[in-house]
Structures are given as C-alpha cells and as structure tokens.
Homo-oligomer: A and B are copies of this chain.
Amino acid sequence: MKVVAGQEDLYQLSFNRGEKLMSSLNQFAREYKIKGGQLTGLGAVNEVRLAYYDLKTKKYYDRIFNDCDYELINFTGNLTLKDGFPFVHAHISISDHQFNTFSGHLMEATVAILAEIFITPLGVMPERKMNETIGLYEI
C-alpha cells in the first residue's frame, strides 16, 4: 500500500495485488493516526468475504466470492474507534465477468489487480459503543 497523496483533508491510497484490503486500511488508520472519516474507492478483488447482518440472531452470515477477479465497483465506508482501535466499516459491490453485481458488508478481500481508495478525515474520532438491542457497535 502506498500513500499517493496525503493531506489533512484528503488521502489517496493505492494498493497492490495480494494485499488484504481491510487489514491494510485499518493499519493505515492506526499508523497515520487518522481521526474518523469517509472512505470511497474502487479496484479489483478476489477472495471476497461478504456478509449480511441478521437482527433476529444478532449474527453476521457470510459467503466467500472467489470465482474470478471481480471488479470492485464501489467501496463505501467510514472510520471510527471501536474497543480503542481505529475500525473501518465498509460495504462494497463487486461484479463478475457477466457484469452481475454482488454486494454486502465487507469482512475482507484480497486485492486482485489494484485498488484505489480515498479517505476524507473527519477531524474527530467518533466512538462505537455496543447497542445490546441490535447487537452491534453503534456510533
């Protein structure tokens, strides 16, 4: 991962084939001490683990997409503090070679070709706290 451009108000990151997208992003946020923020981006990924949250069981259910190198259509996320650490919450859409689209909460994905992500820091670090009613850490 390379910080293409880093400014107080907008960072651009470029990821290489083989990198784990979520763990790299969380590591970047820790190292650069980014305070909150909006994430957007695109690229190509494989070994994609998507999930949805079920409110009844209060659990995430996931599926791994690994049939091809998928285009990463849009990465939409935010950065907050969870259990004392920077935490990226992201949803993504991916498309296969028939241009069909699969989407979900992103657990993890491997960069297949490249990935280009922006982070707009918020300036403050919102904190997530457990909301027992929904079973999730809420901002």
Residues of chain A touching chain B, judged by Cβ–Cβ distance below 8 Å, are 2, 4-5, 7, 9-10, 12, 14, 17, 36, 38, 40-42, 44, 50, 52-55, 61, 63, 65, 69, 71-78, 89-97, 99-105, 112-114, 116, 118, 120, 122-124, 126, 133-134, 136, 138-139
Contacts and interface: CB of A to CB of B under 8 A. Distances in A.
Nearest to A68: B52
A84 to B, nearest CB: 18
A17 B61 CA distance: 20
Contacts of A73: 74, 76, 91-93, 103-104
A42 B122 contact: no
A93 B74 contact: yes
A112 B53 CA distance: 10
